[in-house]
């Protein structure tokens, strides 16, 4: 329950941080912000401060920013917009120079990358010691009967082989196993099996060797965090390419890719190992948001950036009807992808 709460709060902060990036850069350029929303509608209440309305909404999964004139070119009355006084037009998104609009769009992605980088760097500043983890327990095994649980850490061992040899050398005999579960130290008595089935050890546990995270200075942590963040971004880009390729050419989803529901399963596993790994997972999600949003795909920030680039290259905006239809198609594809991933996540429960 606590892990799920941490993930929900983490996701809300990541999406809110993304929108805050748009908000502060737009403010910096003097654009008018009509609304900054905490969460998504339906609305709970709103307060106006200056020219901006700050709304608090029931769905706590991020937020949104409404910049004056941001969507008016696609959906507004252009004749009315052109007739507005100059002092109003100069504060609207559509009438800004292309480079300013581009910077506002990219700002959200930059914040997500920054959050991911700093969170990973923070794990290097804290560091963790090498450990031998119980990552799985077979049903009906001696380990399950003794009360060993996934997420437990085996004391006095950092490699699987010595521990496995110790267990195998005492088949049929009660042995004491010292574990760490959260902040609690436990001594559990288990009796390894004398005979085993294929792919099942004497104790019935799946072991994972955690090499730990080296503890570094501030500068060293920032450097290591940067390298890891860049590597993660490269892997996310490659994985998304494979996902689209499989979906288009084979009509199937790539194994190992999860949707919003599946994230909680991954988070539960990370939470069992330790808080620092849950933080790394949130950093990974933040970097995912940065990369995916920057892709030149309709309805994403990268798609909007591409339209601005085309405008700058050809000297005039893409016809607004074309831009609207392309964005609608892109949004529909993303929703379909999300539904398919969610359906697969849920089907995995049964």
pLDDT (0 to 100) of residue 112: 96
CA distances from 211 to 45, 117, 159, 214, 279 (A): 48, 21, 9, 9, 17
Question: Domain 131-210 maps to which CATH number in 3.40.50.150, 3.40.50.620, 1.10.3260.10, 2.30.42.10?
Answer: 2.30.42.10
Predicted pLDDT at 49 = 92
> Rg for the chain (alpha carbons), in Å?
26
Query: What sign does the CA torsion over 56, 57, 59, 61 have?
Result: negative
Tell which residue, 350, 292, 296, has the closest CA to residue 326.
296
- In the prediction, which pLDDT does 95 show? 86
* Paired tokens of 244: 């689209």
* Cβ proximity of 153 and 134 under 8 Å: yes
Which residues on neighbouring strands pair with residue 56, listed in sequence order?
Answer: 38, 45
CA dihedral 35, 18, 271, 215 (to 10 degrees): -140
Q: How many residues does the chain have?
A: 350
Whole-angstrom Cα distance, residue 229 to residue 118? 9
Domain boundaries, the chain: 2-30+97-125+257-347, 131-210
The answer to whether 254 and 243 are in contact (CB under 8 A) is yes
Instruction: Report residue 206 as tokens.
Output: 């799946």
Reading the chain (350 residues) residue by residue, the pLDDT tens digits are: 677 777 778 888 898 899 999 999 999 999 999 999 988 888 999 999 999 999 998 877 678 899 988 776 655 566 667 777 888 888 988 889 999 999 999 999 999 999 999 999 999 999 988 999 998 899 989 999 999 998 899 999 999 999 999 999 999 999 999 999 877 899 999 999 988 767 778 999 999 998 889 999 999 999 999 999 999 999 989 888 887 777 767 766 656 565 565 565 666 666 666 778 888 989 999 999 999 999 988 888 999 999 999 998 988 888 878 888 888 888 888 878 777 777 766 665 55
Supply the pLDDT for residue 53: 94
Which candidate, 239, 234, 238, 165, places its Cα nearest to that of 202? 165
């Amino acid at each position: 329950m606590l892990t799920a709460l941490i993930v929900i709060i983490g996701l809300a902060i990541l999406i809110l941080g993304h929108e805050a990036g748009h908000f502060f850069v737009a403010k910096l350029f003097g654009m008018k912000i009509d609304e900054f929303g905490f969460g998504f509608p339906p609305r709970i209440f709103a307060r106006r401060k200056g020219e901006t309305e700050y709304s608090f909404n029931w769905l706590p999964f991020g937020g949104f920013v409404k910049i004056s004139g941001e969507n008016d070119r696609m959906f507004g009355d252009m004749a009315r917009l052109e007739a507005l006084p100059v002092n109003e037009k100069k504060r609207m998104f559509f009438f800004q120079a292309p480079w300013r609009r581009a910077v506002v769009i990219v700002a959200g992605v930059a914040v997500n990358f920054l959050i991911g980088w700093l969170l990973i760097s923070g794990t290097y500043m804290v560091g963790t010691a090498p450990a031998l983890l119980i990552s799985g327990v077979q049903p009906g095994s001696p380990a399950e009967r003794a009360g060993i649980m996934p997420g437990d850490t085996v004391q006095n061992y950092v490699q699987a082989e010595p521990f496995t040899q110790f267990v195998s050398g005492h088949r049929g005999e009660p042995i004491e196993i010292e574990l760490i579960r959260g902040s609690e130290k436990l001594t559990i008595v288990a009796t390894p099996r004398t005979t085993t089935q294929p792919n099942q050890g004497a104790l019935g546990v799946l072991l994972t060797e955690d090499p730990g995270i080296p503890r570094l200075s501030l500068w060293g942590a920032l450097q290591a965090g940067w390298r890891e963040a860049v590597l993660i971004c490269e892997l996310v880009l490659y994985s998304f390419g494979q996902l689209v390729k499989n979906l288009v050419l084979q009509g199937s989803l790539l194994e190992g890719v999860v949707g919003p529901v599946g994230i909680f399963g991954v988070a539960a596993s990370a939470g069992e190992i330790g808080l620092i790994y849950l933080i790394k997972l949130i950093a990974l999600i933040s970097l995912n948001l940065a990369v995916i949003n920057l892709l030149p795909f309709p309805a994403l920030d990268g798609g909007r950036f591409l339209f601005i680039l085309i405008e700058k290259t050809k000297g005039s905006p893409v016809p607004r009807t074309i831009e609207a239809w392309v964005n609608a198609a892109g949004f529909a594809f993303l929703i379909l992808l999300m539904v398919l991933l969610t359906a697969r996540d849920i089907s995995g429960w049964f």
